[in-house]
Amino acid sequence: MTARTDGKGETRHPYLRPRDAAAIVLLDRSGDGVRVLMGKRSSRHAFMPDVHVFPGGKCDADDHALPHASTLHPEVERLLRIGPPAGLGAARARALALTAWRELCEETGLTPEGGLPPLHCLRLAARAITPPGNVRRYDTRFFVTYTDEAGLNPAHMRDSDELHDLLWLDIEADSSLNIPQITRAVLEDVRTLLKNRPTLAFDAPVPFYRHRNGRELRDYLRGNADV
């Protein structure tokens, strides 16, 4: 099947099943306020080139077997296992968290003390499924944590082929950077988390962005049902 154009002249692509992906909204509170790490995607990317995003990427087959220093918080694991699709197992939930960590290390050079990623400090901030018709589609889980909790030194970041122009952005700033709509939405979700509880609750309802019958939906994952 080949791409086609819709009535507005925009390119539409054949239906693609979303692939699992994960990202980390990494926060630094070592200064007066809270900063968030973002970087610019390479122009070589077919999906969202030349935009500023959080470190992240698609799950690899071997991510479930990556070593780690600690396990997921039980509430975070439960939120990750909520459908759709039904039946997400504990190993796959852990793999999503390990994907986020692997991508962070690869794209920014940041590595935790001791070398192995801690999972216990990760909260689930949001989930988003790329709308149909895009050149790539992902079912992305956005994790959030603080650098000090994760054993990371914010000064040790470095650009990579995947993500460059890395910067720590004041989370309250109204940035003029080219940031995708979904990234801005998740950023606002994290701001809300911080205002409600600066320690970042593990069991807070998780915004879930998706499309159904051409409509954009924003539901919540609450730990006991897909609403």
Answer yes or no: is pLDDT of 143 > 60: yes
Domains contained in the chain, CATH given: 17-221 (3.90.79.10)
* Average pLDDT score over residue span 106-121: 95
Strands (E), the chain: 4-5, 11-12, 19-28, 35-41, 52-53, 56-58, 123-129, 138-146, 163-170, 206-212, 215-221
Q: What is the pLDDT of residues 169-209, one digit of tens each?
A: 999 987 788 899 999 999 999 999 999 999 999 999 999 99
* Average pLDDT score over residue span 161-169: 92
Answer yes or no: is pLDDT of 88 > 80: yes
Residue 4's pLDDT is 43
Positive or negative, the Cα torsion across 49, 52, 53, 55? Answer: positive
Q: What is the pLDDT of residues 24-70, one digit of tens each?
A: 999 999 988 999 999 998 767 656 668 999 999 999 999 999 999 99
Better-scored residue on pLDDT, 162 or 44:
162
Residue 135's pLDDT is 80
Residue 144's pLDDT is 98
Residue 81's pLDDT is 93
Give me the residues paired with residue 60 across strands.
none
Chain-centre distance for alpha carbon 177: 18
Residue 94's pLDDT is 96
* Average pLDDT score over residue span 165-170: 95
Residue 41's pLDDT is 81
Residue 93's pLDDT is 95
The CA angle 132-133-139, to the nearest 5 degrees, is 40
Integer Cα distance of 169 and 182 in angstroms: 17
Better-scored residue on pLDDT, 161 or 208:
208
* Average pLDDT score over residue span 223-227: 42
Answer yes or no: is pLDDT of 2 > 70: no
SS3 string of 106-170?
A: HHHCCCCCCCCCCCCCCEEEEEEECCCCCCCCEEEEEEEEEHHHHCCCHHHCCCCCCEEEEEEEE
Residue 189's pLDDT is 96
Answer yes or no: is pLDDT of 132 > 80: yes
